[in-house]
Amino acid sequence: MSTDKNDSSLSAFGAAESRGERSDTVSALERGISVLRCFSEERPVLGHADVARMTGIPRPTVNRLVATLLSMGMLKAAQAADRFMLGPGVVSLARVFLGSLDVRAAARPSMQAMAEEVGASVYLAVRDGMEMVLIEACRPRSSMLSARLDVGSRAPLPNSALGRAYLSALPEAQRNQLIDSMRLLRGPEWDSIAPPMTRAIGEAKRLGYCLSIGEFHREINSVSVPLIGPDGEVMALNGGGAAFVFTEERLRNELAPRLHDIALTIARDIGGHVPTPSPG
């Protein structure tokens, strides 16, 4: 996932906010949350200037937002001067969120069993903004070749199998709205991203699964299936790993059916359902 893409997404948020396009929400709260969203595994420590550039929020406002977040424990000072990182307040909120997801408890045994038996990394994810965020991650204990994503890692909607499976299970109007937003955020690169995404969504609707063959990470192949919770929330299950181990044929013939069975089991346990493929 490129830093440039994340920066442009955050800047687009700041620009839209400055034009008053979010009149139905609390702009100060949105700005504070946009500061927190600047941090990632690739960027754990940031300064005021970094946040101002990434969000498009004026520097004086960034200074006040950071001071507030520091006082509330959502940020903490880093060792370097004028630098900061996420604080323990964010961790406590994340633990409450993850603890409330019964689906994780229902999913983990089957996901771990699959990871051990086929040597794949197996993930469960939900959407957050224009990305999928992992809420459960299982890896084979004996393999050194599995992908190293973990809970909290993110994958882009259009070119990850997770995102494509998620999109395939949305109502058409909601899916089209998300795609329109992605097109605006991605700009010129959208012309190369859209066709394989569209094909994968169509495949997911026909077959119940879709692939990403080196399109998220160049050396990683994966397959995903959608899963819908009892409240209608769409999730996605994913399996895969190193491309030379998990070929397209193996993903289709071995991992896709296994993931579908796991999705059905989870759906039964939590009162959800798995979308029915429409071959026509």
Say whether both 127 and 38 belong to one domain. Answer: no
Residue 95 falls inside a structural domain: no
Residue 240 falls inside a structural domain: yes
Domain hosting 64: range is 3-87
Q: How far apart are CA 47 and CA 62, in angstroms?
A: 10
136, 141, 144: which is closest to 237 by C-alpha?
Answer: 136
CATH of the domain at 140: 3.30.450.40
β-bridge pairing 234-242 and 121-128? antiparallel
Q: What is the pLDDT of residues 208-250, one digit of tens each?
A: 999 999 888 888 999 999 999 888 889 999 999 889 999 999 9
Q: What is the pLDDT of residues 94-115, one digit of tens each?
A: 666 655 557 888 889 999 999 9
Q: What is the pLDDT of residues 144-174, one digit of tens each?
A: 555 567 888 889 999 999 999 999 999 999 9
Please work out, in degrees rounded to the nearest 5, the angle formed at the alpha carbon of residue 214 by the alpha carbons of 256 and 223.
15
If one counts every other C-beta atom within 10 angstroms of the C-beta of residue 56, the result is: 17
Q: Three-class SS of residue 133?
A: strand
Say whether both 53 and 118 belong to one domain. Answer: no
Please tell me the predicted confidence (pLDDT) of residue 239. Answer: 94
If one counts every other C-beta atom within 10 angstroms of the C-beta of residue 137, the result is: 23
